Amino acid sequence: MQSYKRRAPRCPPHCLPHDLSFIEENKHMRLTGLVVILVSMLASSIGFAAPEKLSLVDKNAAFKAAGYSLKGKKWRSECGLDDDSISYSPGIIEEVRDINGDGLLDAIIHEGGIGCYGNTGRGFSIVSKQTDSSWKMMTKNIGFVSFLKNKGVNGWPDIKISGPGFCDGVWQYDGSKYSYKCSKEQEPGGCSWIKDNTKICK
């Protein structure tokens, strides 16, 4: 039975046969290239994209639509206009994307502070760019907002508003505003204080 030995990689003309450092370098380059390709494929498959940004004109209009005013170089809500406490953080645009799929950008703005938002310490506003390039307030509330799969009018997704405790509110867009729909328990009994079971999200 004839045995075979693995052949050593051929050395390129510029190196000596005993200098195999190029082999390890080549392996590293190929592995790095493979990782980059795999990451790119994964990002493409799950829809990663460069984050959207607003022009200065749209940024200013978005803040104004949310009821903010520029004080110095910081955007502040009416409540936070004179809040100089340690807990306060001025308004920032947290996310920019087309939330309802109409081809126009929307923005989520949030502001922090116990003075304005109690123990939750955070408030948010959702504003939407219109076809005439103006911006419209869609909703604002106290808490942390996340989007659900169910949709209301004009493709606007239901939103879940979280805060202290284990009972989150779910709100749905009715064509003119977001209205309370039901409450979602983070764990069994999280909304036990609600006596009307029809108000517990299924």
Domain count, the chain: 2
In a domain, 157, yes or no: yes
Question: Domain check: are 128 and 75 in the same one?
Answer: yes
In a domain, 12, yes or no: no
Would you call 192 helix, strand, or coil by DSSP? Answer: coil
Question: Domain check: are 104 and 24 in the same one?
Answer: no
Question: Could you tell me which residue, 40 or 179, shows the higher pLDDT?
Answer: 179
By residue range, what is the domain housing residue 99? 56-199
Using pLDDT thresholds of 50, 70 and 90, give the confidence band for residue 40.
Answer: very low
Per-residue confidence (pLDDT) for residue 202, from 0 to 100 = 83
Residue 3 pLDDT > 90, yes or no?
A: no
Question: Domain check: are 43 and 91 in the same one?
Answer: no
Task: Give the whole-angstrom CA distance, residue 126 versus residue 173.
Answer: 12
Identify the helix (H) or strand (E) that includes residue 129: strand 122-129
Question: Domain check: are 157 and 74 in the same one?
Answer: yes
Would you call 56 helix, strand, or coil by DSSP? Answer: helix
Residues 6+ apart with CB under 8 A from 115: 79, 80, 83, 85, 87, 88
Using pLDDT thresholds of 50, 70 and 90, give the confidence band for residue 2.
Answer: low
Residue 39 pLDDT > 50, yes or no?
A: no
Question: Domain check: are 36 and 62 in the same one?
Answer: no
User: What predicted TM-score, i.e. pTM, was given to this entire model?
Assistant: 0.74
